[in-house]
Amino acid sequence: MSSERKLVHTTRIPVRWGDMDAYGHLNNTIYFRYFEQARVEWVEDLGFPVRPDTETGVVIISADCTFRMPVNYPATALIKVYAGQPGRTSVMNWYELFVEGDDKLYAEGSAKLVWINVPTGKAVALPEAVMKAL
């Protein structure tokens, strides 16, 4: 992990039976859901509820995931969220997914977050609380 990345949040998510695919491991789309859940928790921990009735909020404009090893049920996913140096309206996030009790990296990903005015959908400056946290 580069020194430009800062660990900002960690979450645990129980893997559900219904999260599996036909091959018996975590469906590829679920990794993005787990990253999303961890990202939303981080943003809300900063004091910014993720709801459609807020004045400003965060959206992602790109996302990726590298699947290193399959996750199987039963398990608890441990997702670490890292943030990079903030720009004027955006910040990069990186994710690492582990299985609780195992130090092997199962997946890693990233997303570029942009702060927006929710009613207009236009980019706005990152809030001061986000800048301070980073």
Q: Model confidence over 80-129: pLDDT tens digits?
A: 999 999 999 999 999 999 999 999 999 999 999 999 999 999 999 999 98
Q: Model confidence over 64-75: pLDDT tens digits?
A: 999 999 999 999
Residue 122 lies in a domain: yes
Q: Which domain holds residue 102?
A: 6-133
- The predicted pLDDT at position 6 comes to 95
Residue 74 lies in a domain: yes
pTM of the complete model: 0.93
Q: Is the per-residue pLDDT at 3 higher than 80?
A: no
What is the count of structural domains for the chain? 1
Residue 1 lies in a domain: no
- Omega cis (within 30) before 74: yes
Q: What is the CATH number of the domain that holds 37?
A: 3.10.129.10
Q: Model confidence over 12-59: pLDDT tens digits?
A: 999 999 999 999 999 999 999 999 999 999 999 999 888 888 899 999
Which H, E and C letters describe 82-127, residue by residue?
Answer: EECCCCCCEEEEEEEEEECCCCCEEEEEEEEEEEEECCCCCECCCC
Q: How is the beta sheet containing 76-83 ordered, strand by strand?
A: 6-14, 76-83, 90-99, 105-117, 56-67
Q: Is the per-residue pLDDT at 61 higher than 80?
A: yes
Contact 89, 115 (CB under 8 A): yes
81 — phi, psi (to 5°)?
A: -110, 130
Environment class of 50 (CB within 10 Å of its CB; exposed 0-12, middle 13-18, buried 19+): middle
Pairing of strands 76-83, 6-14: antiparallel
